[in-house]
Amino acid sequence: MSLTRHLGKGRDLARTAGDHAADMFAPLALIGRGLRHHADWAKARWAATPKDRRGPTLFLLAAAAVGIFLLPHGPLFTVAALMASAAWAGRRPKTPSAPVPDAGDLKLTALYTALTPYLAGPDDLSPLYSLDGQYKNAFADWQFDGEGRLTALEIAYPAYFTDTEPAARARIEQVVQGKAGRAREYRFDWDEESNRLRITALAPLTADIAAQPFVTSPGEIVLGFTDTAGSRRTIPVRQAGVTVQQPPVVWRTGPRSAEPHLLVLGAPGSGTSSLLRSIALQALPTGDLVVIDGAGTGEHACLVNRPGVHTVETSLRGAHAAIEWVAKETERRLIVLNAARHTGATPPEDATRPLWLLLDHPTELSELAHAEGHPDPQDLLEIPLRHGRAARVTVVFAEDIEARERISPTVRATTRAKVVLGSAGQEAVAAALGTAVDIAPAALTPLGRGYARIGAAAPVRLQVPATPDPLDEEAPAHLREAVIALLPHRDTRTEAAAAPAAPPIPPVPPVPAAAPTVGPAEPVEVGAGDPGAIEPTKDAPAVRPRPAW
Ligand SMILES: Nc1ncnc2c1ncn2[C@@H]1O[C@H](COP(=O)(O)OP(=O)(O)OP(=O)(O)O)[C@@H](O)[C@H]1O
Binding region for ATP:
266-273
Mean pLDDT of 221-232: 94
Q: Which of 300, 314, 423, 447 to mutate to test the pocket of ligand 1 (most atoms within 8 A of CB)?
A: 447
Q: Please check whether residues 315 and 353 belong to one and the same domain.
A: yes
Q: How many domains does the chain have?
A: 2
Q: What is the pLDDT of residue 522?
A: 36
Q: Please check whether residues 246 and 348 belong to one and the same domain.
A: yes
Q: Please check whether residues 231 and 117 belong to one and the same domain.
A: no
Q: Which of 206, 359, 204 is nearest to 279 (CA)?
A: 359
| 3-state secondary structure labels for all residues of 495-548 | HHHHHHHCCCCCCCCCCCCCCCCCCCCCCCCCCCCCCCCCCCCCCCCCCCCCCC
| 3-state secondary structure labels for all residues of 177-198 | HHHHCCCCEEEEEEECCCCEEE
d(CA 273, CA 466): 11
Q: Please check whether residues 378 and 469 belong to one and the same domain.
A: yes
Q: Please check whether residues 155 and 249 belong to one and the same domain.
A: no
Q: Is the residue at 51 inside a domain?
A: no
Strand pairing report for 150-156 and 417-421: unpaired
- The answer, yes or no, to whether any atom of ligand 1 lies below 6 A from the CB of 403, is no
Q: What is the pLDDT of residue 52?
A: 78
Q: What is the pLDDT of residue 129?
A: 93
Strand pairing report for 196-202 and 220-225: unpaired
Average pLDDT, the chain: 84
Residue 546: is its pLDDT beyond 60?
A: no
Q: What is the pLDDT of residue 533?
A: 37
What is the four-CA torsion angle of 364, 446, 244, 236, rounded to 10 degrees?
-10
**pLDDT by residue (tens digit) across 4-24?**
566 667 677 777 766 677 677
d(CA 415, CA 422): 20
Q: What is the pLDDT of residue 146?
A: 86
Q: Spell out a b/e string for 182-218, using b for 16 or more CB atoms within 10 Å of the CB, else e.
A: eebbbbbebeeeebbbebbbbeebeeebbbbebeeee
Strand partners, 202: 185
- The answer, yes or no, to whether any atom of ligand 1 lies below 6 A from the CB of 278, is no
Domain containing 290 equals 220-489
- The answer, yes or no, to whether any atom of ligand 1 lies below 6 A from the CB of 298, is no
Q: Please check whether residues 163 and 272 belong to one and the same domain.
A: no
Q: Please check whether residues 156 and 236 belong to one and the same domain.
A: no
Q: Is the separation of the CB atoms in 324 and 332 below 8 Å?
A: no
**CA of 465, closest atom in ligand 1:** 1
**pLDDT by residue (tens digit) across 52-105?**
788 888 888 888 888 888 888 888 888 888 888 888 887 766 555 666 668 888
Among the ranges given (118-127, 488-497, 527-536), the one the predictor scored with the smallest mean pLDDT: 527-536
pLDDT grade, residue 301 (50/70/90)?
Answer: very high
- The answer, yes or no, to whether any atom of ligand 1 lies below 6 A from the CB of 282, is no
Q: Is the residue at 392 inside a domain?
A: yes
Q: Which of 58, 530, 475 is nearest to 274 (CA)?
A: 475
- The answer, yes or no, to whether any atom of ligand 1 lies below 6 A from the CB of 476, is no
d(CA 405, CA 428): 11
Q: What is the pLDDT of residue 470?
A: 94
Residue 496: is its pLDDT beyond 80?
A: no
Tell me phi and psi for residue 178, to 5 degrees: -65, -40
Tell me phi and psi for residue 160, to 5 degrees: -80, -5
- The answer, yes or no, to whether any atom of ligand 1 lies below 6 A from the CB of 377, is no
d(CA 162, CA 128): 15
Q: Which of 237, 263, 274, 479 to mutate to test the pocket of ligand 1 (most atoms within 8 A of CB)?
A: 274
- The answer, yes or no, to whether any atom of ligand 1 lies below 6 A from the CB of 541, is no
Q: Is the separation of the CB atoms in 393 and 328 below 8 Å?
A: no
Mean pLDDT of 519-545: 36
Strand pairing report for 196-202 and 185-191: antiparallel
Residue 249: is its pLDDT beyond 50?
A: yes
d(CA 368, CA 377): 10
Q: Please check whether residues 194 and 233 belong to one and the same domain.
A: no
pLDDT grade, residue 543 (50/70/90)?
Answer: very low
Mean pLDDT of 368-381: 93
- Class of residue 92 by CB neighbours under 10 A (exposed 0-12, middle 13-18, buried 19+): exposed
d(CA 48, CA 37): 16
Q: E strands along 338-467, which residues? A: 355-360, 393-400, 417-421, 439-440, 449-454, 460-463
Q: What is the pLDDT of residue 18?
A: 67
Mean pLDDT of 500-521: 37
Q: Please check whether residues 161 and 243 belong to one and the same domain.
A: no
SS3 139: strand
Task: Give 479 Cα–ligand 1 centroid separation in angstroms.
Answer: 12
Q: What is the pLDDT of residue 424?
A: 81
Q: Please check whether residues 189 and 275 belong to one and the same domain.
A: no
Q: Is the residue at 172 inside a domain?
A: yes
533: number of Cβ within 10 Å: 16
Q: Which of 489, 510, 525 is the last residue in one of the domains?
A: 489
Which of 101 and 357 is assigned the larger pLDDT?
357
Query: Which residue's CA is minimally distant from atom 23 of ligand 1?
Result: 269
Q: What is the pLDDT of residue 2?
A: 57
Mean pLDDT of 138-166: 92
**CA of 449, closest atom in ligand 1:** 1
Q: Please check whether residues 156 and 228 belong to one and the same domain.
A: no
Task: Determine what percent of the chain is predicted with pLDDT higher than 90.
Answer: 59
Q: Is the residue at 179 inside a domain?
A: yes
Residue 498: is its pLDDT beyond 50?
A: no
**CA of 270, closest atom in ligand 1:** 21
Task: Give 238 Cα–ligand 1 centroid separation in angstroms.
Answer: 21
Q: What is the pLDDT of residue 99?
A: 65
- CATH number assigned to the domain comprising residue 387: 3.40.50.300
| 3-state secondary structure labels for all residues of 463-498 | ECCECCCCCCCCCCHHHHHHHHHHCCCCCCCCHHHH
Mean pLDDT of 151-171: 92
d(CA 277, CA 271): 10
Q: What is the pLDDT of residue 8?
A: 66
Q: Which of 489, 514, 541 is the last residue in one of the domains?
A: 489
Q: Which of 155, 170, 202 is the last residue in one of the domains?
A: 202
**pLDDT by residue (tens digit) across 433-458?**
999 888 888 888 899 999 999 999 99
Angle, CA of 277, 442 and 396, to the nearest 5°: 25
Q: What is the pLDDT of residue 486?
A: 95
Mean pLDDT of 187-205: 94
Query: Which residue's CA is minimally distant from atom 26 of ligand 1?
Result: 269
Q: Please check whether residues 174 and 251 belong to one and the same domain.
A: no
**CA of 469, closest atom in ligand 1:** 31
